[in-house]
Amino acid sequence: MRIPKIGAYAEAGVGRARAEYSVFEAEARGPNASAGAEASLAGVGAMARAELVSASARAGPVGVKVGLAVDTGGSIGAGGVKAKILGTGFSIGSVNAVAILGNEVEVNCAIM
């Protein structure tokens, strides 16, 4: 069943490289900024992000991101709870994560 939602998202940046193979992913990004908000019957959320540089890797359900970012916002809904202030925060639910100043470790429990 499809859940109706409403939202807006905008992103601008310089430089992005991405590679995928099977369950492995890697990405490098240059300076970028984004903002978004969404509301649905399943939950609400809003996030603003400014990032100087980052590199991320994922192998199946486990992901690691290293960089310097100041994400600020949060969400709450059927998938769990997420909160970040200046790049430091947490996520609990289908994705469990801990972030400190844009460096993040996450485990996606939905694909385990």
The 10s digit of each residue's pLDDT in 46-84 is 999 999 999 999 999 999 999 999 999 999 999 899 999
Query: pTM for the complete prediction?
Result: 0.85
Residues 6 or more apart whose Cβ sits within 8 Å of residue 15: 28, 29, 30, 31
Chain centre distance of CA 46: 12
Torsion of CA 86, 88, 92, 98, to 10 degrees: 150
Q: What mean pLDDT is reported for the chain?
A: 95
Cβ contact 42:79 at 8 Å: yes
Give the pLDDT band of residue 2 (cuts 50, 70, 90): confident
Query: What residue spans define the domains of the chain?
Result: 5-111
Assess whether pLDDT exceeds 90 at residue 112: no
What percentage of the chain exceeds 70 in pLDDT? 99
Cβ neighbour number for residue 9 with a 10 Å cutoff: 10
